[in-house]
Amino acid sequence: MAPQRRGPLRTAEGSGATERRRPSSTKKARELRDTRRAWLKTLGLGASITLALILIWISLGADDGVAEVLARRGEVLEGKFIEVPCSEDYDGHRRFEGCTPRKCGRGVTDVVISREEAEHIRRVAEKGLSLGGSDGGASILDLHSGALSVGKHFVNLYRYFGDKIHTVFSEEDFQLYRDVRRKVQLAIAEAFGISSSLLYLTKPTFFSRINSTEAQTAHDEYWHAHVDKVTYGSFDYTSLLYLSDYLEDFGGGRFVFMEEGANKTVEPRAGRVSFFTSGSENLHRVEKVRWGTRYAITIAFTCNPDHGIEDPTFT
């Protein structure tokens, strides 16, 4: 039988083809691995950022252990009042029937002072504080006593600046201040069921401007929990009128009523009035301001006429 001619071995041809295709396959595999690594890296970075944001959110939300918001910045409250049992702090002071708290609590209203009034009186604060300001994060201006933060100290602005004061403030500024004080006084009297004539303005009553600057003296450390009746024996009813907006003008700076396991917070809103009886039933603090500037007025009232003060006058 004649020998049969055989063609080239297919295995050899196939092997050569495999060798020729290998660089291309290797390149594609490398590109796939690189793409996968880049995707995993991006995923890991995203997860890290998300975790960091969650931790920041938790740390901010956990500040002061706030469990409930009594008044959110975005809502308009006609009047919200929560009654709480009175402490014994008032027993150590002379009692005034019909005025000394027997009904204790805390309230918030957004309809006593308009936003326009709040904006105008904030400009009064800005004009006065432009004359000085603390080196730390908290500055005060007291139109009654004349106390003004300057550097690490206080000066009496009426003595320190003399006649220059008349180029800074106007009679209209002081009249607005008096009008606002009266409206707040009436709101407190109505909420607690007492006669407004039995309430007397008491000291200290002042504007505050707080920013995130590091504290320089003990006067700048506004964030410690305290009781007004213990700190200032004359206080029976405390109020705050906010002149700027939480999360718009500043971050942090919420007002917190301290309660074990269930702190309550008020988010400032321009024109919002927060008020409360001044004893230990309303232990409170202010969160540190993290950015921006927070403006407010603290207005306090006493039932003891001996501790009353007059409204500030321009003359």
Please state the domain extents for the chain.
Answer: 32-63, 68-307
68-307 has CATH 2.60.120.620 classification: yes
pLDDT tens string 198-212: 999 999 999 999 999
- Over residues 40-68, the mean pLDDT reads 50
Name the residue with higher pLDDT: 162 or 5. Answer: 162
Any idea which residues carry the catalytic annotation?
A: 294
pLDDT tens string 19-38: 444 555 566 666 666 666 66
| Reported pTM | 0.80
In this structure, of 16-25, 225-234, 246-255, 286-295, the range with the lowest mean pLDDT score is 16-25
Distance, CA of 84 to CA of 226 (rounded, Å): 17
What phi and psi, each to the nearest 5 degrees, are found at residue 182?
Answer: -65, -40
